[in-house]
Structure 1
Amino acid sequence: MNQEKFKGHIAMVVASIIFGANVPFSKMLLPNWMSAEAMSYSRFLFGAIAFWVTSLFVHSERVPLKDLGILMLGAILGIVFNQGFFIEGLLRTTSSEASIVSTITPLLVMIISFIFLKEPITMKKTGGVFLGLIGVLAIIFTTEVEGNNHNSSVFGDVLCMGSSLSYAFFLIVTRDISKRYQPLTIMKWMFLFAAIFTSPFEIKGLVNSNIFHHAPLFAWNSFLYMLIGATFITYLLIPFSQKRIRPTTIGMYNYLQPLVASLISILMGKEAFTWIKPVAAFLIFAGVYLVTTSKSKEDVERALVTEPVTEPVRSH
């Protein structure tokens, strides 16, 4: 593995850890301190402000109108739909069920990459995706579900699935453009578009949120973690990784998020440590390794070019 790919993997590990920890933190805010709509909009607005202010201190890149159109589509798929659907789904279902549904993301990315990018679906890649899936499901189904089952909702699960689907398309749509611009340039435009699209519908709900009136310290800590960690930092790391590793590999890192959430629950004393946890972690990392080392479209094309052509033996 070359140095640039290694940097891409490290970036996605960090992003997955931050995202994984954000699930229980976000759940603590819903719905008493913020509505799902207000929570999503707060991320869009904060991201737009933070990325644009940060861009004032670095070299500015000019983005032509054509690429702005792609960034606008990326904003709708990867920010508005992805975050909006997930938060709305999390409000209506349990964290465990939301985690189960999110495990479909790597499979969706693999299928969509095959259709639109002609990325090969190899046995190694398929095996890696399903090996990681087994590890994630082992964690989820051996974890005591929070609350009661009546808190779950089929509609909430469907919304979480919509979040996974939009994220999968986001990785495909923005793959090429992520290689032409710096992560900060990409995100300042995408979050600006997301904030503009949603402002007319959600700004009032954000202003009236309980968190701004009488929220305890834990609520503010969760809120700031969501804004700074799970929004600003992670959305810089994703395009950074897109420059260096394939969409299918990026999608595989979704499998780390339930593992991180489970470990946090153990540290907080809300979940017991069992033997299945290290076994599941091994399966997840083994799956990521298999997908990472599987052949890409470029690898297949390079092999076809360099492979010597042999003439068939003719009998005389």
Structure 2
Amino acid sequence: MIVVTAPTGQIGSQLVRQLLDRGSRVRVIVRDVTRLDATVREQVEAIEGSHDDPTVLDRALPGADALFWLVPPNPQAPSAEEHYLTFARAGAAAIARHQVGHVVGVTSAGHGWSNPAGVLSAAFAMDAELAKSGAAYRALAMPFYMENLLGQLDAIRGQGTFSLTCAGDLPLATVATRDIAGAAADLLTDLSWTRQETLPLFGPDRLTPDDMAEVISQELGRPVTYRRTALEDFAAMLRSRGASDQAVKDLTEMFTAQDDGIYDVDWARAKPAPTDFRTWCRQVLTPAVNSRES
């Protein structure tokens, strides 16, 4: 039995389908069962609730051979670190309590970074807490998700731009969520691995945001440019939307760390993921943009 947390998110939903396609028995922890696709709902055992709740974990983990662990984002959380640790403390205790042998978690690349990195540092703290469970643990360490660009469909379609806070002429490490799901599925369906290890997974490209804009332009058949957002302007935007001072700090520290090279060491040793940025644009971004126009 494989237990999957966050099964309706971008990574979890793809993982569940891949596991079912491989004939695995799957149990999911989901806040709202109705959010599961109907065909998936028929094939999995669903435990309703949140995986920061020990009583929910005690219903989900008995008999589990392996657990997929992902902490859902919460922009309203007072502190990113406390948000991640609330889940991880409950998870580590339940994993040990139910003697789950193997855990695969989604975390950030950049372990060993010495400076504060906001949300990324919170993910590192989560890994350390889960390691205390004693289970064999694989931390899938990720850079920037290509799917983050889907939040800018209106700007790409209407204004011909996308924006991040990083420098336009420095390479940005990226990965497609389907490759994260694929790597997790491989680990969860072959439990021959032992011990605890961090596994960086990066896309095969070394593109700058300016390069990414050129690829997007070519795939869409229209000009798209990259516009860098100053970090102070990004912080002001967050505050205008009601973000707390701690939330602003968590996010700005994360983007500062990305610009300062937090991913560089892992990028040099990462396993190359199969999906390059152009393929992702062709298969994911372009259809999403076109669907906005239809």
Category of TM-score, reference length = shorter chain: under 0.3
TM-score, normalised by the number of residues in structure 2? 0.26
The structure richer in helix per residue is 1
Structure of greater relative contact order (alpha carbons < 8 Å, 6+ residues apart): 1
Structure ranking higher in strand proportion:
2
